[in-house]
Each structure stands twice: as C-alpha cells, then as structure tokens.
Structure 1
Amino acid sequence: MPDRKYDLVVIGAGIVGLASAMEILKRHPALRLAVLDKEEQIAQHQTGHNSGVIHSGIYYAPGSLKAKLCVSGKQKLIQFCQEHDIPYELCGKIIVATTEEELPRLQNIYERGLANGVPGVELIGPERIREIEPECEGIRAIWSPTTGIVDFGRVALAYADEVQARGGEILTGHEVFDIKQQDGVYNLETSRGVVASKYIVSCAGLYADRIAEMTGAPKYPKIVPFRGDYYVLRPEKRHLVRGLIYPVPDPRFPFLGVHFTRRMDGEVWLGPNAVLAFAREGYRRTDFNARDLLEAVTYRGFGLLAWRYWRMGLEEMYRDFSKVAFLAALKRYVPAIRAEDMLPGPSGVRAQALAPDGSLVDDFVFNRSGNALHVRNAPSPAATSSLAIGEVIAATAAKAFDLPTPVAH
C-alpha cells in the first residue's frame, strides 16, 4: 500500500518544478499536490549551480519557446522578485565582437533581439563599449541594458514557500527509483516509501529521460551531462568587470564560450568551459559514475556530436586543464586580466538533451505520456523563464488531465 496519496506529484524541486507546482496550485487550489526531490534540500543541482543571469531573450530563434517564454518569463520574474523583496539588479550585458568575421553573427543576434521584442538593445562601437566596460576591448558590440542578475536559489526558496502556503507538500529525500501504473494510479517507488498519484509532472533535470522512460515515454531525447568550470576574479580585481561581458557565439561549437558574470554577492565569475561530465552529478573532474558515462559514450547521438565537434571539444578539454589557455580566452575581451587574478571557482552540470542524430536539442521540450507530463529539455534560460514555463505546464496539465476548474464565487 502507498505511504502517501496525492492527486498530482511533481518530480523535481528545482526552479522549474517549483514554478510549475505553484502555478498548478494557483489554478487548482483543491488539488492534493506534492513535490518530490531526491536531495535533502531543494534546488541543489542546475538551479543552485547556475550563473544567476536574468536573460533578456536576445539569442533565441524568433517564434521559439525559448524566445517567447524568456521574454515573458523575465517580466514575471522581476515582478515576483519585487513582490517578495528578493534583490535583483538589471546591470546590463554587452555581447562583444573582437574580429571582423564575427560581425555578421553579431548583426544576426541584434536582429533576433529586435524580433523578440527585447527592450533597449542597440549596436555600439568601441567608445561606447569602453563607457560601459572600461577594461573591455572589442570592435563592435550589442548592449542589452535590461539583462540582469539574481540569486536563483533564493527565488526557488520563495517559490517553495508559495507552494506550501497554497497547501502543497515538498517531500525532500524522496528519490524515485521506479514508477508503476495500476488501476489508473501511478505508484512511485521512492527511497522513503511508495507515493501514489493520479497524475505526474516530471521536471527532473539531469534525470528527465530516465523518469520519462519509467512512465512509458520515449527514451529520446537522451540527457547528456556537460560540466562547466568557472574561475572567480580575485576580490581586489572585481573592478575590471562592471556587469556582464559575453562573446559572440561560435557556430563551430554548440556552447556559448567563456564570459564574465557579475553576481549578486559581488563576485565575478569567469567561464564556463564545456566538457563531458563523467557523471550526471559530476561537479568535479574526478567525479565518476560508470552507468552515467557508459550511457553517454555508447549513445549514437553523442558519438555523432563528438565526431562533428572533435576539434573544438579537444580545445575545451585542454582549457579545462590549462589555466593559461583559459586565461587566453578571457584576455580577448579583458586584456588586463592576469593569471594571478583568477581563483578556482564553482562548477555546474548542464542537463543537455541530445537527439539521436547528434544535434543538441536547442528549444525547450515538453511532452506527454498517459497521465504524465515531462519537461524533457530545459537548459538556459529556463531559470529566467521559470514562471512562464510553469504557466505552460499548468495549462497543459489542466487540459491533458481534465483537472477541475474552481468555481468562482
């Protein structure tokens, strides 16, 4: 017999799972809802390891879910922060071209920003670059004044408070090992007993594909973990970076490249690189999980990705172990940085959905299997977009599960 019974269970107490639970309870306050998480504290993985940037929506293909949900989600996030006294800062971001060959790509990003309705974006030259970031060098840049920073861990805690205030439960330390369906009910076998629920919303991040398979959903796209390591600027050198300095994305490589990120606590993060993690929770170079690594390297999609980007992949691996190489990438933008200014920093693991043809799944992906909804791919800017994603999940759940709508009084 199940130890606990609910109408709906959300798997994953990261920022997307909590936002989805909060929005579902707003719309359906009578639901018995619980959020399960394998860790003893919420927001311990992607939410707790991200760079803290409130993205404006400038990069994403017009019409994509990322573009729409980032632009709308950012406004909702700022309003939420204001209502809950969560500090944030719209410090602005410059995307810097350092070579002539980058200029067409910079122009394309600028046009995307305009198409996506990102406020205030402008193309600027070297003099304006130095006004905004005195130590930065570039031949042209995009200025995005409404890009900002926030502590997403603190935002997630506020979401969790809202979930509980609306009658939802948050069950930490409940790792889901298996899911069986019987008589229209899902029985979730967890590390702390069986939890029964009529409906499931999975926001499992690094384990999204495995949870999906447990409910009979397709095994693809698979999650492949990529670790990103940061350095931090020595405190007395933080003046070298005022806000956010980003590169023009390189089409030869599927990830963004190193950048400069000011944090709410005053720290300045340098990075990250992007290398295959040898475990789904492989935050250190020495972390290793045989199942995770074997799944990744034997997956056809990963083999095709590695073949396509082998040269850039080797460069990223070299940079991961070479401070000199990492420094060289940073000095393209801020020449005044020296090796002694760089201190070892944190790392994160990105849950990247990878298609069988070797292509990185770029957009957010949501799908349904029976009475289970799955967030299959939610990389950056998912934290910025979390409230908008929560609204999509809640609306989809209401329709897919035919959830009762409360009667207005």
Structure 2
Amino acid sequence: MADETIGIVGAGILGLATGREIALRRPGTRVVVLEKEPQVAVHQTGHNSGVVHAGIYYAPGSLKADLCVRGVSILREYCQERGLPYAEIGKLVVAVREDELGRMENLYQRARNNHVPELRKVSKEEIRELEPHAGGIAALHSPRTAITDYPAVAREFAKDIEAAGGEVRLGFPVTSLTDVPGGIEVASAQDRVRVDRLVLCAGLHSDSVARLAKDRREPRIVPFRGEYMLLRPDRTDLVRGLIYPVPDPRYPFLGVHFTPRVDGSVEVGPNAVLALAREGYRRSRISPGDLAGLAAYPGSWRMAAQHWRTGIREYRGSLSVSAFMKDARLYVPGVGASDVVRGGAGVRAQALDRDGTLVDDFRIHRVGRITAVRNAPSPAATASMAIAEHLVDGLFADVSAN
C-alpha cells in the first residue's frame, strides 16, 4: 500500500495534522489536502483563541479527555522543536458565588481523573497572589495551561506535508464524491482528484461534505459566533494569565473569560450567539441557504425550546458592550466597558443531534473508504496531533484488514 494516495478535505489544523501524520507514518504514500480557501487555517483555526487546554473540563474516558491530554504533550514538543510560540501562562477557573463551589469540586475531581498536571485548589487570598486584580471566592489553578499561535502551527504542518512529497491544493471547493474502482473521485467545479482513501475534516461544512459521502444526515452543524472584546493596551496589565468562570455543565461553551494572546493583547470573551451563516463572522452576514437548513431541522427547534433564555442573554451581550462586560467584571472587577474595544469573532461548528442535544464529544464516522470527522469542537486544536494519530490508526487498520 506504499504507493497509495490519501486525500484530506479541509486545511484547518486538524486536516493538516492528519495529512502530516499520514506522511510521516507511511513514507511513500501521497497525501493531497484539498481546501476551498486560498490559504490554510482560514476558519476555525484562524479565529482560535490560542489556548492550549490542559484537560480540565472533559468527561474521563471520553475522546476529548484522552486525546486532549495526549495532544498537549506532543504539541508542546512540536512547538519547542520548531521555534513556535508556546507559553505556559497558567489558568484560574474562578468561582464567584457559593453555589458554584460544588461544581468547582466536581471539576477538580474530573481534572484529577484526567491527570491534569499540577492542578490545585486555591483560596480567595491565593487568587489575589496569582492575579492581583481578579475577583472570586475560590479557584482551581492549572499552571501548565498554555497559549500558542494555532495558524502558525497549521502552516508548519502544511510545510511538513509538502516536504514529505505531499500537496496542499488551495482553491478546491469539493462539489462531489464518487466511488470509482479501488477508490474515490473528489471533484470541484474545475478539477478532479482520484484517491484511494479520504478523510473529511471540513469543520463548518462537515455535515454537508459528509452527505456527499452518503454518510448519515445527523448530527447537523449549527454555527455559533463567538465575539471578543479587547482590553485597551494600557489595561492589559490587569491580567497575567487565563481567567475562566466555572462552566455550566449544560452547555459545551466555557463562558466569557480573559485570554492573553502571544502577541501581548488580551481578549475578553467569547459569547455564543447563533450565527445566521456558517461563515457568519459579522452580524450582517446572512446566508438564506444556511438559515433554511436550520429551520428545516427538528433539532434546531428542540434546541431553541431548551435554551431560548440563554440565547436572549447572549444576544443582549452581543449588542451592548456594557451588557457583555457585566459578567466579565465578576472575574476582574476593575474592568469596565470603557476599558475594552470590540475585537474579532470566530464561528464554532457545533454539532447538533435530532433531539436538540448539543454534541459534546468528538464524533467520527466511517463510510467505506471515507472517514468523516463530524464534530471536533474545542479542544480540537489542542488535541489536533493526537486526533490525527487516532484517525490514522483507524485508517491504516482498515487498510490492513483489506
């Protein structure tokens, strides 16, 4: 099988990590990464907060937990080897109310089960030692939580693929997948590529591309826009490391938090509002086709029935800087609306089941010669190299069986 061709749809960090893993593990295999955009890492990777998660939040035994913990170690080593930014600035997960202490304790036990390194509980006084301007009554401190530059990592993965003889083909929007003898023909409007096996890492379009592969219709992707504020440059000294709330276990979102970036800026956010287009980075961006797909899917209405109150609160914060900063001030009381400016936004590809459940764990389907990544939310960037190992293990196991 050394002369086979394996295709990857999607040149975000996960698609590129998978292509790199194939090229390194299977010398002689031709890897072709197909990307609709004119450059790599345009969408979720390019709008990522840059946090390297330590594995605090994820259910023990889940793919998220296992692959995040593995992913951190190999990502750290890769960044150090390539001279890419990687700074262990630490994270505080802060409780601001008494009724959050039980959830914080559950989170602590979960993190211990996930072998998060050096995690400890800290008191109100210790919070102030770590973050002099922070609020809160108790916290968890994860000193090994880090930040990096994921688009830079993705570009380095692309270089590795090309150095191994592979190709990253840009401007190739996939329009059809056709079974042919011994393989699959992947077509765009202008070109065709024949591959022996195919891995779909299409992110915001993962469900629609999977349908081209005749995969099941569920889960569907619901786009959630996450908007950020930026601390003004003269106020960034109010935050030393990452400051997060205790998350609500009903939602796969972590809430508004403070995130220093490798360029020295500090983001506040994100919120989580339903985007009106899969690539709806601005409120004004509306896709009638995407909206029609959401409206026709029963899971969308069931999700809305369960979470409409939260949705209204999130939209209020989207429209008003003061409302956005109301929650943020619980964690850094000295920061107000006058201390921030509007920053960028990203769109999260959130998978949604037909019953209205927001899919939490990574989800991977296999259809013949095609492997489809159907849900890869945070910490997918952190875990990208470990997810790639997992995908390629399954890919080559199938090849061996055949």
Indicate the TM-score class for this superposition, using the shorter chain for normalisation. over 0.9
Residue from 33, 36, 43 that aligns with 1:38: 36
SS in 1 for 2:400: coil
Give the conservation status (yes or no) of the 8 Å contact 2:41–2:154. yes
Q: Which residue of 1 is the match for residue 367 of structure 2?
A: 369
For 2:206, the equivalent position in structure 1 comes to 208
- TM-superposition CA deviations, 1:180-215 (whole Å, max 9, x none): 112233121214311111211111101111111111
| 1:87 Cα deviation from its structure 2 partner | 1.8
Q: Deviations over 1:343-366 (max 9, x none)?
A: 110000000111111111110111
Change (3 A) 1:374 1:92: same
Alpha-carbon shift at residue 375 of structure 1 (Å): 0.9
**C-alpha displacement of 1:285:** 0.3
- Whole-angstrom distance in 1 between the partners of 2:85 and 2:148: 7
Contact 2:94 2:138 in 1 (8 A): yes
Q: Distance in 2 between matches of 1:314 and 1:256?
A: 17
- Partner of 1:366, secondary structure, is strand
From 325, 335, 347, give the equivalent of 2:323.
325
Give yes or no for contact 1:173–1:192 (8 Å, CA) kept in 2.
Answer: no
How far off its partner does 1:291 sit?
A: 0.8
Q: 1:213–1:219: 8 Å Cα contact kept in structure 2?
A: yes
Helix, strand or coil: the match of 2:365? strand
Residue in 1 that maps onto 2:67: 69
Is 1:223 aligned with 2:221? Answer: yes
Taking the TM superposition and a 5 Å limit, the aligned residue runs for 1:388-399 are 388-399=386-397
In the alignment, what sits opposite 1:268?
A: 266
Paired with 2:250 and 2:199, the residues of 1 have a C-alpha distance of 36
- Displacement of 1:403 in angstroms is 8.7
Report the Cα distance in structure 2 between the residues aligned to 1:6 and 1:402, rounded to whole angstroms: 13
Could you list the runs of 4 or more consecutive aligned residues of structure 1 that deviate by over 6 angstroms after TM superposition? none
Give the TM-score taking structure 1 as reference length. 0.96
2:169 is aligned, of 143, 147, 171, to 171
- Does the aligned pair in 2 maintain the 1:106–1:248 contact within 8 Å? yes
CA contact (8 A) 2:322 2:336 kept: no
In the TM superposition, residue 32 of structure 1 has moved relative to its aligned partner by 1.7
SS at match of 1:361: coil
Give the 3 Å change call, closer, same or farther, for CA 252–360 of structure 1 in structure 2: closer
Q: Is the 8 A contact 1:253 1:312 kept in 2?
A: no
> Which residue identity does 2:324 align to in structure 1?
F
* Separation of aligned partners in 2, 1:331 and 1:33: 48
Matched to 1:260, the amino acid is F
- Cα offset, 1:298, TM superposition: 2.2
Deviation at 1:6, TM superposition (A): 6.8
- 1:373 alignment partner, SS class: strand
Paired amino acid for 1:373: T
- Aligned residues of 1:252 and 1:312 also touching (Cα < 8 A): no
Contact 1:397 1:403 in 2 (8 A): no
Mapped to 2, the partners of 1:62 and 1:195 lie a distance apart of: 40
**Which SS does the other structure have where 1:381 is aligned?**
coil
Letter in 2 for 1:247: P
- The one-letter code of the counterpart of 1:95 is V
CA distance in 2, matches of 1:248, 1:271: 14
Cα RMSD (Å): 1.3
**Paired residue total:** 400
Deviation at 1:385, TM superposition (A): 0.3
Structure-1 separation of matches of 2:95 and 2:224: 26
Q: Which amino acid aligns with 1:156?
A: A
- Distance of 1:150 and 1:293 partners within structure 2: 34
Task: Indicate how the Cα distance of structure 1 residues 253 and 372 shifts in structure 2: closer, same or farther if over 3 A, else same.
Answer: closer
Deviation at 1:367, TM superposition (A): 1.3
Match of 2:346 in 1: 348
Taking every aligned residue pair, what percent have the same amino acid on both sides? 48
> What one-letter code is carried by the residue in structure 2 that aligns with 1:112?
R
Question: Which of 339, 354, 357 is the equivalent residue of 2:355?
Answer: 357
Contact 1:247 1:257 in 2 (8 A): yes
Give the deviation of 1:118 after TM superposition: 0.5
Give the partner amino acid of 1:187: E
Aligned 8 A contact 1:6 1:34 in 2:
no
Give, as a single letter, the amino acid of the residue that structure 2 aligns with 1:103: L
Secondary structure at 1:63 match in 2? coil
Match of 2:276 among 260, 269, 278: 278
SS in 2 for 1:176: coil
Mapped partners of 1:237, 1:195: distance in 2 = 51
Q: Distance in 2 between matches of 1:320 and 1:63?
A: 35
Tell me, in whole angstroms, the C-alpha distance in 2 between the residues paired with 1:383 and 1:84.
Answer: 17
Letter in 2 for 1:318: R
Q: Summarize the alignment of residues 252-263 of structure 1 with structure 2, pairs less than 5 Å apart.
A: 253-263=251-261
Equivalent residue for 1:249?
247
- Cα-to-partner distance string for 1:50-83 (whole Å, 9 max, x where unaligned): 1000000010001111001000100000000011
Match of 1:129 in 2: 127
Q: For residue 9 of structure 1, what is the aligned residue in structure 2? A: 7
* Pairwise CA distance, 1:25: 1.1
Cα 1:290–1:6 change in 2 (3 A) is farther
Structure 1: unaligned runs, 5 residues or longer: 405-409
Matched, 1:236 2:234: yes
CA deviation after TM superposition for structure 1 residue 273, in Å: 0.5
